[in-house]
Amino acid sequence: MSRGIYLVANRISEEHCLNLITSLRRTGCTLPIRLIPFGGAPVSARGILDQVTVMPPEAFPVEGLAFINELATVLTCPRGFLLRFLSFFGDWDEFIYSDNDIVGLMDWSELFIYLEPPLASGPVDLVHADQEFLTNGKFNYRQPASITDTFGAQAMDSLLTAGHYLARRDPRLVADLSQALDWMRTHQQEVILHDQTLMHLAVLLGGWRTRNLCREPIPWGSSWAGDYPDALSLIQATNGTPRKRISHVHYSGGWPDGTKPVDVLLLSHLARDAYNRRIMVDTARHCTGYNSVRSLIKRAKRKLKR
């Protein structure tokens, strides 16, 4: 059984990527890592390149590239975000895809056991660990009620984040993703045209067997950094009653600016002096309003582009 991790990164996300890899290797995780270039300036950090095999999109089967090109005609997110779906066209039997703004808290090799068949119901297609099911679909759908009307009242129970998941290599899953894209194309008033919606619709349309480690009967602790005000609360969550495992911390929902107490985990790859300098810079940018102005400019550019 061949297994590994796929990442997609460039120079902009390089520091987060380095921190993610550092956090995983510190857990003892030895899974091979393939890095797909996001586009733009490529990753150059030696700490990354020594740990990964760079796999350009052209190294994947032509069917995979054709699928990415098709996605780009419908979905509105940057093409680099769509490259995560090349993982379904790779040659590993089972794989993990991960965003870069994630910190590993355990050896991810242990997660693959959850792809094994639960009792006699058949193999699991996809494993994830998040509490996206609490959002009622507001980040995926313009009309969530229309989705539950179409797919049933339980449709939102299978919501997931596209930023971290385990899956099997299976042509059926690719076919379901393609079917989901067709559905989005004809229901654009109901959906938000991005990658996470595509995955959830594939789950609904294809009847994927999914396992969310953050739901009963397990359930693990939340993987979203926003649920933890600081690192202490994260540690206490893993030692509470009952004790909860947490596979990773995901800083989704915006680019972390380094000023929230829990952001300290994103700087774990830095030595003491470099860490202190980085804290000084991040604090100065926050206190002077630099981050707020930069965020407004980015938001304006996105709106103009749309």
Task: Work out the percent of the chain whose per-residue pLDDT is above 90.
Answer: 88
Please say if the pLDDT value at position 91 is more than 60.
yes
- pLDDT at 89 (0 to 100): 97
Residue-wise pLDDT for 271-281, tens only, equals 999 999 999 99
Lowest mean pLDDT among 21-30, 50-59, 224-233, 286-295: 286-295
pLDDT band at 101 (very low <50, low <70, confident <90, very high): very high
pLDDT band at 218 (very low <50, low <70, confident <90, very high): confident
Better-predicted residue by pLDDT, 56 or 291: 56
- pLDDT at 241 (0 to 100): 79
H helix count then E strand count, the chain: 10, 9
CA distances from 187 to 137, 192, 202 (A): 15, 10, 14
- pLDDT at 304 (0 to 100): 82
Residue-wise pLDDT for 234-263, tens only, equals 999 999 877 899 999 999 988 899 999 999
Residue tagged 């899974």 (tokens): 31
Tokens of 115: 């792809």
Closest CA to 211 of 278, 94, 129, 131: 129
- pLDDT at 306 (0 to 100): 67
Better-predicted residue by pLDDT, 306 or 3: 3
Residue-wise pLDDT for 63-81, tens only, equals 999 999 999 999 999 999 9
Do residues 84 and 195 make contact, with C-beta atoms less than 8 angstroms apart?
Answer: yes
Give the SS3 label for residue 263: helix
Residue-wise pLDDT for 102-143, tens only, equals 999 999 999 999 998 765 567 899 999 999 999 999 999 999
Residue-wise pLDDT for 10-19, tens only, equals 999 999 999 9
- pLDDT at 119 (0 to 100): 56
Instruction: Return the amino acid letter for 157.
Output: D
Please say if the pLDDT value at position 164 is more than 90.
yes
DSSP code at position 97: E
**Domain locations along the chain:** 3-212, 270-306
- pLDDT at 236 (0 to 100): 94
Please say if the pLDDT value at position 289 is more than 70.
yes
Please say if the pLDDT value at position 220 is more than 70.
yes
Do residues 10 and 80 make contact, with C-beta atoms less than 8 angstroms apart?
Answer: yes
In order, the DSSP letters of 185-229 are HH-TTTB--SHHHHHHHHHHHHT--EEETTSTTSPPPP-BGGG-S
pLDDT band at 1 (very low <50, low <70, confident <90, very high): confident
> Do you know the residue count of the chain?
306
Do residues 210 and 165 make contact, with C-beta atoms less than 8 angstroms apart?
Answer: no
- pLDDT at 181 (0 to 100): 98
Fold of 3-212: Spore Coat Polysaccharide Biosynthesis Protein SpsA; Chain A (3.90.550)
Kind of pairing between the strands at 102-104 and 3-9: unpaired
Please say if the pLDDT value at position 305 is more than 80.
no
Residue 217, preceding bond cis, omega within 30 degrees? yes
Mean pLDDT over each residue of the chain, to the nearest integer = 95
Interatomic CA distance for residues 30 and 4, integer angstroms = 9
Q: Please report, to the nearest 10 degrees, the dihedral formed by the alpha carbons of residues 248, 251, 212, 217 taken in order.
A: 70
* Mean per-residue pLDDT, 283-306: 85
* Mean per-residue pLDDT, 36-56: 98
- pLDDT at 122 (0 to 100): 76
Interatomic CA distance for residues 147 and 201, integer angstroms = 9
Per DSSP, helices labelled H in the chain are 14-26, 46-49, 62-72, 79-82, 144-151, 171-186, 195-206, 231-238, 272-287, 290-305
CA count, 13 A, side-chain hemisphere, 125: 19
Instruction: Return the amino acid letter for 49.
Output: L
Tokens of 236: 């206490």
CA distances from 305 to 41, 76, 130, 298 (A): 21, 10, 31, 11
Which residues are CB-contacts of 133 (< 8 A; sequence separation ≥ 6)? 156, 157, 158, 159, 212, 215
Tokens of 184: 């989005």
